[in-house]
């Protein structure tokens, strides 16, 4: 690679970008103006409004059912509140209250305590959903407490006791956190999210334009025939995006944090003059660079794949959504960065950001975050260079998305990735709403209905409509006996491996209790064991394999069989609508996809799926038998030592399966 | 010097079948010679030129530019060719000088030499007035002149023009035509593609007719006239296409 050429491209791209007034405006000028305006302006308006509400008068009706000296004293206390008008309660009060002429009704009643002493019950009727009404309530109750205190003091004096007689406990707080740390905590809540979004926004300002834009304006050809290599072109564009993303992020970061500091200083004296330490800011900026490079690499690949800017922009959206969801982790109060979380892209930066702001981070977290992001970045940029060198991608012309029009013309070509995603989305919506409805009505029958009517039946209807042969498309083919015999070994060992992995995940992110309860409920349906087996092992094994390894996998085969397996597994995992089981189900999806494609028969993956689900069923249902106890420890966990033998069995049986299925199969993975 | 040897380019169609955009073609173009690749739209002209200029990888066969193999030394090939097409885009936010200098840098030419070449070409093409203007403010004729200078800034021995006059007005097209002649005079090897018979007639030393990815004829206008016993290039073209179709039918009947 000629780095000089990369620099030439980088310089020229940057010059072009910086000459675009819109880019300059959105990247630099807007954030500088916007945040002070939003944060400081909003805050001062809010404070003013609160003040206005505080000072605003109110009309309160008072019903005194006791009418003695003390109740009079209470009412006198209330009347002292500034700007408030007090009216006696009468027949029209309720109507006035309904018409909002009266904001509050105070009712004083009395009652006898256990020792025969009189005490007062005061009811304050108000509308809690109204800001003003709430303020009135707070003022009234505060004032009443004050009067109560006075009355208590008087009583104590009459009894000849000191006014301090009742002061038994005095609670005082001693806060060890510094003002700086408090500010860090406050900023750490949402600053990471905003900064990650800004990094993405800055990157996407130019990304679509850089390759897809060159295609659209027909300048790409001239660049490709010049004596600069394709890797150098990609790197030049990539550097441009990184630079813009970082610039945008830095401008935003400083503008937001200054505005917020200003706002906080205005709100409390403690915060005035407090600033974030410069070294924290520097650490954050350095940690953000790998993320910027990762975003840049992903966005260049999108731009390379897209035929025009519009298309690139629409492909950027899903990526933005994923980044947004992952960045939102900073809003969750209890999650803190750990060595494991430091591997997860975006999430690691968000959490690291939070940790650095409150000054509780370790060097290892920073290093793991940076290195893991850089590794992903490296993979992404290698893929991008590969894409850029692939003619069919760089010069993609035909509309390949599919859609209804293609369906009508050529049903044979209906199995496009686009249509696959559409089909999956519809199935997912049906599962969520219809399946969810059925299962809340009756769990057992709901499960069976879901599998048969939502998952399996539509596959056959669609194939019928498209006039495609189910036997051929869904791979209804008798597998080789030798391969089939190996499936139980593969399935059981894989099941154990995956279960142990999810147990490990569970120790790091414990499942919520409710979730575990819901899972147990699934196994403890009041049905005969064979019926439970039918609903949670047999039917899911058959129906879900029909949908995922039979039907949906076909939509993605044009990307190559490996990708078909990977994409169908991702969809399979997403279909379970369960973030806690996403990774385990994904791994099973890889295995099931491999089994089906390698053997050319969906029956192999069905068998494996049934065994996997059946194993879970057996372990729970027969948890008291001695051989299950041998496998499972207290608390329903599989013994960790089983991992090693399971892994050995898995590797051997999978290898054997691979060998056995090798001959005479028209399709094979790898 | 261009040498095309059994060159094919295969695209995979949506239904998985192969499509030969260029099918085992052979031709040569020498220094100081203008060779025209003549064919209707979709004949395989652009694909051929894209393979020769290393934008596409050849599927079968190969080609040499100035002795450099397009498969083995794509970088050397790119150094030796200038590429220009009728619908080439430019970077609107750069000035003409910046645009040309940018490409000069991509060819690793010294600043001084770039300046010198810009000056010569600007005088020749009458560009001094708008040399420092932003490209977005230029007329299409001015833009085409900028593209010309861009294509020749590294003084390549081989020039490839893909439908260079397509979509241009008459005056701009004339600039291109005279530029092509100028290239020949400087001893460059010129390959240009067109579907306009008149252009081929007026410019080309030799005409290579291409149809459905195959070469139908290769020769000077005189040679083609003699073989086909037609005078007008239009008629000669139709003659060869008919002959090709006949041959195909004959072959189809044999099986």
Residue A667's pLDDT is 46
Nearest by CB to residue B106, choosing from A5, A19, A395, is A5
Contact A229 B75 (CB under 8 A): yes
Query: Percent of chain A having pLDDT more than 90?
Result: 38
CA distance B162 to B194: 7
Q: Which residues of A touch B102 (CB under 8 A)?
A: 8, 12
pLDDT tens column, B176-219: 899 999 999 999 999 999 998 888 998 999 999 999 999 999 99
Q: Which residues of B touch A236 (CB under 8 A)?
A: none
Q: Which residue of A has its CA nearest to B150?
A: A222
Measure in Å the smallest separation between the Cα of A668 and chain B Cα atoms.
18
Residue A666's pLDDT is 46
Contact A222 B98 (CB under 8 A): no
Measure in Å the smallest separation between the Cα of B194 and chain A Cα atoms.
18
Burial A197-229 (b: 16+ CB within 10 A, else e): bbbbbbbbbbbbbbbbbbbbbebbbbbbbbbbb
Query: Percent of chain A having pLDDT more than 70?
Result: 94
Residue B58's pLDDT is 93
Reply yes or no on whether the pLDDT at A541 is more than 70: yes
pLDDT tens column, B117-132: 999 999 888 899 999 9
Touching B: A residues 405-434, CB under 8 Å: 412-413
Reply yes or no on whether the pLDDT at A284 is more than 50: yes
Touching B: A residues 278-317, CB under 8 Å: none
Contact B54 A400 (CB under 8 A): no
Return the residue in B91, B110, B137, B147 with the most chain A beta carbons within 10 A, the one to mutate for interface testing: B91
**A374 contacts A286 by C-beta, under 8 angstroms:** no
**Band of residue A48 on the pLDDT scale cut at 50, 70, 90:** confident
How much is the average pLDDT of A98-109? 90
User: How distant is the alpha carbon of residue B225 from its chain centre?
Assistant: 24
Reply yes or no on whether the pLDDT at A408 is more than 60: no
Q: For residue B251, is it left (φ>0), alpha (ψ between -120 and 50) or beta?
A: alpha
Assigned token pair, A499:
């279960």
- Angle (CA) B78-B84-B90 rounded to 5° is 100
Nearest by CB to residue A16, choosing from B78, B85, B94, is B94
Q: Which residues of A touch B85 (CB under 8 A)?
A: 221
pLDDT tens column, B40-99: 888 999 999 999 999 999 999 999 999 999 999 999 999 999 999 878 889 999 999 999
Residue whose C-alpha is closest to residue A551's, from A590, A611, A596? A596
Residue A227's pLDDT is 87
User: Which residue matches tokens 């010059």?
Assistant: A15
Touching B: A residues 113-132, CB under 8 Å: none
Residue A665's pLDDT is 45
Contact A16 B93 (CB under 8 A): yes
Q: Which residues of B touch A400 (CB under 8 A)?
A: 14
Contact B56 A391 (CB under 8 A): yes
Measure in Å the smallest separation between the Cα of A412 and chain B Cα atoms.
9
**Residue A578 — φ and ψ, nearest 5°?**
-150, 100
- Angle (CA) A517-A518-A519 rounded to 5° is 90
Nearest by CB to residue B91, choosing from A16, A227, A413, is A16
Residue A633's pLDDT is 67
The reply to whether B97 touches chain A by the CB within 8 Å rule is no
The reply to whether A500 touches chain B by the CB within 8 Å rule is no
CA distance A260 to B76: 57
**B184 contacts B32 by C-beta, under 8 angstroms:** yes
Nearest by CB to residue A226, choosing from B15, B50, B103, is B103
Q: Which residues of B touch A3 (CB under 8 A)?
A: none
* Helical axes B96-106 vs B111-125, angle rounded to 10°: 130
pLDDT tens column, A115-163: 778 888 899 999 988 888 888 999 999 999 999 989 888 888 888 888 7
Measure in Å the smallest separation between the Cα of B8 and chain A Cα atoms.
15
Nearest by CB to residue A8, choosing from B89, B102, B150, is B102
Q: Which residues of A touch B154 (CB under 8 A)?
A: 227
Reply yes or no on whether the pLDDT at B158 is more than 90: yes
ipTM: 0.91
Residue A409's pLDDT is 60
Q: Which residue of A has its CA nearest to B78?
A: A227
Contact A8 B12 (CB under 8 A): no
pLDDT tens column, A349-368: 999 988 888 888 888 999 99
Residue whose C-alpha is closest to residue A557's, from A667, A403, A423? A667
Assigned token pair, A49:
């409004």
Q: Which residue of B has its CA nearest to A233?
A: B106
Measure in Å the smallest separation between the Cα of A233 and chain B Cα atoms.
10
- Residue A262 has a CB neighbour count (10 Å cut-off) of 16
Contact A12 B75 (CB under 8 A): no
Contact A218 B102 (CB under 8 A): no
CA distance A347 to B88: 44
User: Which residue matches tokens 């970077």?
Assistant: B91
Contact B55 A225 (CB under 8 A): yes
pTM above threshold 0.90: no
B103 Cβ neighbours under 8 A, 6+ residues apart: A222, A226, B150, B153, B154
The reply to whether B167 touches chain A by the CB within 8 Å rule is no
The reply to whether B14 touches chain A by the CB within 8 Å rule is yes
Mean pLDDT value across chain A: 86
**B223 contacts B217 by C-beta, under 8 angstroms:** no
Residue A261's pLDDT is 78
Query: Percent of chain B having pLDDT more than 90?
Result: 66
Residue B66's pLDDT is 94
Measure in Å the smallest separation between the Cα of A20 and chain B Cα atoms.
8
User: Which residue matches tokens 């005279």?
Assistant: B178
Nearest by CB to residue A226, choosing from B12, B56, B78, is B78
Measure in Å the smallest separation between the Cα of A5 and chain B Cα atoms.
6
Residue A374's pLDDT is 93
Q: Which residues of A touch B147 (CB under 8 A)?
A: 222
pLDDT tens column, A184-241: 888 888 888 888 998 998 898 889 999 999 999 889 989 999 989 999 999 999 999 9
Contact B75 A5 (CB under 8 A): no
CA distance A88 to A285: 64
Contact B53 A391 (CB under 8 A): no
CA distance B77 to B1: 11
* Least confident residue range of A38-42, A269-273, B146-150: A269-273
**Band of residue A669 on the pLDDT scale cut at 50, 70, 90:** very low
pLDDT tens column, A553-606: 998 887 788 889 999 999 999 998 887 788 889 999 999 999 999 999 999 999
Contact A225 B87 (CB under 8 A): no
CA distance B240 to B223: 13
Q: A116, exposed or middle or buried, with CB in 10 Å at 0-12, 13-18, 19+?
A: exposed
The reply to whether B13 touches chain A by the CB within 8 Å rule is no
**Band of residue A274 on the pLDDT scale cut at 50, 70, 90:** confident
Assigned token pair, B148:
């010309």
Nearest by CB to residue B93, choosing from A2, A19, A395, is A19
CA distance B5 to B63: 5
Contact B108 A229 (CB under 8 A): no
Contact A224 B55 (CB under 8 A): yes
The reply to whether A225 touches chain B by the CB within 8 Å rule is yes
3-state DSSP call for residue B34? strand
3-state DSSP call for residue B36? strand
Q: Which residue of A has its CA nearest to B93?
A: A16
Contact A225 B83 (CB under 8 A): yes
Q: Which residue of B has its CA nearest to A224?
A: B55
Residue B254's pLDDT is 62
Residue B4's pLDDT is 95
pLDDT tens column, B211-251: 999 999 999 999 999 988 888 888 998 898 888 887 777 77
Measure in Å the smallest separation between the Cα of B70 and chain A Cα atoms.
12
**A424 contacts A544 by C-beta, under 8 angstroms:** no
Residue B16's pLDDT is 62
CA dist A417 → A420, A426, B192 (Å): 5, 14, 40
């Amino acid at each position: 690679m000629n780095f000089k050429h990369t620099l030439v491209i980088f310089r020229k791209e940057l010059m072009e970008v910086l000459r675009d007034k819109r880019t300059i405006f959105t990247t630099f000028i807007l954030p500088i103006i916007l945040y002070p305006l939003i944060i400081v302006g909003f805050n001062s308006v809010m404070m003013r409004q609160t003040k206005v509400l505080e000072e605003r008068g109110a009309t309160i009706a008072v019903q005194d059912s006791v009418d003695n000296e003390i109740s009079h004293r209470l009412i006198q206390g209330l009347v002292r509140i500034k700007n408030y008008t007090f009216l006696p309660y009468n027949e029209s009060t309720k109507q006035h209250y309904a018409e909002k002429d009266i904001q509050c009704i105070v009712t004083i009643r009395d009652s006898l305590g256990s020792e025969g002493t009189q005490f007062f019950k005061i009811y304050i009727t108000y509308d809690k959903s109204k800001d003003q009404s709430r303020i009135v309530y707070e003022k009234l109750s505060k004032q009443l407490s004050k009067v109560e205190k006075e009355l208590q003091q008087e009583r104590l004096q009459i009894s000849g006791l000191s006014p301090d007689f009742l002061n038994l406990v005095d609670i005082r707080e001693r806060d060890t956190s510094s003002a700086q740390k408090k500010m860090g905590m406050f900023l750490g809540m949402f600053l990471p999210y905003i900064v990650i979004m800004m990094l993405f926004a800055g990157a996407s300002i130019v990304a679509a334009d850089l390759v897809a834009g060159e295609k659209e304006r027909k300048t790409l050809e001239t660049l490709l025939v010049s004596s600069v290599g394709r890797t150098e072109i990609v790197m030049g564009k990539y550097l441009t995006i990184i630079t813009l993303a970082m610039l945008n992020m830095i401008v935003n970061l400083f503008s937001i944090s200054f505005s917020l500091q200003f706002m906080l200083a205005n709100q409390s004296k403690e915060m005035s003059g407090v600033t974030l330490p410069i070294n924290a800011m520097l650490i954050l900026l350095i940690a953000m660079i790998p993320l910027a490079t990762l975003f840049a690499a992903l966005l260049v690949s999108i731009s390379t794949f897209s035929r025009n800017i519009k298309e690139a922009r629409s492909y950027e959206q899903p990526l933005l959504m994923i980044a947004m969801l992952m960045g939102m982790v900073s809003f969750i109060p209890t999650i803190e960065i750990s060595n494991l979380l430091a591997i997860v892209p975006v999430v690691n930066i968000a959490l690291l950001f939070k940790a650095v702001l409150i000054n509780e981070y370790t060097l290892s977290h920073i290093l793991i975050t940076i290195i893991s992001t850089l590794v992903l970045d490296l993979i992404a940029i290698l893929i991008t260079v590969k894409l850029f060198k692939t003619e069919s991608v760089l010069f993609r012309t035909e509309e390949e998305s599919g859609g209804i029009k293609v369906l009508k013309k050529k049903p044979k070509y209906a199995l496009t990735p686009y249509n696959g995603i559409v089909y999956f989305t519809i199935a997912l919506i049906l599962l969520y709403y219809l399946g969810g409805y059925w299962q809340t009505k009756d769990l057992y029958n709901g499960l069976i209905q879901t599998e048969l009517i939502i998952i399996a039946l539509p596959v056959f209807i669609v194939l019928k409509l498209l006039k495609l042969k189910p036997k051929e498309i869904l791979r209804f083919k008798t597998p080789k006996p030798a391969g089939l015999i190996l499936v139980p070994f593969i399935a059981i060992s894989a099941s154990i491996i995956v279960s142990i992995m999810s147990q490990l995940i569970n120790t790091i992110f414990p499942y919520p209790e409710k979730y575990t309860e819901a899972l147990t409920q699934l196994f403890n349906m009041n049905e005969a064991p064979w019926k439970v087996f039918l609903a949670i092992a047999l039917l899911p094994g058959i129906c879900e394999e029909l949908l995922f390894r039979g039907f949906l996998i076909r939509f993605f085969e044009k990307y190559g069989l490996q990708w078909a397996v990977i994409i169908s597994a991702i969809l399979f995992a997403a279909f379970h609508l369960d973030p806690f089981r996403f990774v385990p189900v994904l791994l099973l999806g890889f295995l099931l996809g491999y089994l089906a494609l390698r053997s050319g028969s969906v029956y192999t993956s069905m068998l494996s799926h049934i065994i996997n689900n059946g194993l879970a069923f057996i372990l729970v249902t027969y948890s008291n038998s001695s051989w299950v106890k041998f496998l499972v420890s207290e608390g329903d966990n599989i013994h960790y030592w089983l991992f090693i033998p399971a892994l050995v069995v898995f590797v051997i049986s999978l290898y054997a399966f691979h060998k056995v299925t090798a001959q005479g199969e028209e399709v094979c993975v790898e | 010097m261009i040498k095309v040897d059994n060159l094919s380019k295969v695209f995979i169609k949506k239904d998985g079948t192969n499509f030969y955009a260029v099918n085992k073609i052979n031709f040569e173009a020498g220094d100081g010679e203008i060779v025209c690749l003549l064919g209707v739209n979709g004949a395989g002209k652009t694909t051929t030129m894209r393979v020769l200029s290393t934008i596409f990888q050849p599927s079968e066969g190969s080609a040499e530019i100035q002795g450099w193999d397009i498969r083995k030394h794509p970088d050397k090939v790119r150094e030796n060719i200038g590429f220009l097409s009728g619908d080439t885009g430019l970077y609107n936010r750069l000035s003409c000088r910046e645009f040309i200098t940018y490409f000069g840098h991509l060819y690793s030419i010294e600043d001084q030499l770039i300046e010198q070449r810009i000056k010569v070409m600007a005088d020749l093409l009458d560009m001094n007035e708008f040399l420092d203007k932003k490209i977005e403010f230029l007329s299409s004729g001015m833009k085409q002149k900028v593209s010309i200078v861009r294509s020749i800034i590294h003084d390549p021995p081989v020039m490839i023009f893909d439908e260079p006059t397509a979509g241009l007005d008459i005056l701009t097209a004339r600039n291109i035509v005279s530029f092509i002649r100028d290239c020949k005079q400087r001893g460059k090897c010129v390959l240009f593609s067109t579907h306009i018979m008149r252009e081929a007639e007026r410019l080309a030393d030799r005409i290579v007719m291409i149809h459905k990815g195959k070469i139908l004829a290769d020769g000077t206008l005189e040679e083609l006239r003699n073989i086909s016993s037609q005078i007008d290039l239009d008629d000669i073209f139709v003659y060869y296409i008919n002959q090709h179709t006949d041959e195909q039918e004959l072959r189809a009947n044999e099986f």
